[in-house]
Copies of this chain bind each other. A is one copy, B any other.
Amino acid sequence: MARLDAAARLEQLTAAFSALSHPTRRRILLVIRFRGGAMTAGDIAGRFHCKWPTISRHLRVLETTGLLVRQREGRQHVYRLSLQSLRRVKEWIRWLEAGRK
């Protein structure tokens, strides 16, 4: 399995930072975390003031970024945290702070 090329990594990083730049999306991640790492779309939507389709789209953004993984269970959609993409974010920050080439 080949590693991601530079362009793809750049895009992933951009996607991750963009995803995290919205307060609601950050809250979604935290809510799921504090609820054990997995929640259904409905339970998530119920904890926010904006309408369901809005949450649904935020969830999709988080999913395409790789921060959440969706899994069907009957008629519910369970979203689970998948924080590997945070690794690139943390790496980038460390890199900036360290200043190593």
Q: Which residues of A pack against B, CB within 8 Å? A: 10, 13-14, 17-18, 20-23, 26, 29-30, 33-34, 37, 83, 86, 89-90, 92-93, 95-97, 99, 101
- The 8 tightest CB contacts between A and B, nearest first, are A17-B21, A18-B21, A17-B20, A33-B99, A21-B21, A17-B17, A14-B23, A29-B96
CB distance from A101 to the nearest CB of B (A): 6
Inter-subunit contact A93/B86 (CB<8 Å): yes
Beta-carbon contact of B92 and A97 below 8 Å: no
A95: chain B residues at CB < 8 Å are 30
Contact A92 B17 (CB under 8 A): no
Closest chain-B Cβ to A67's Cβ sits at a distance in Å of 10
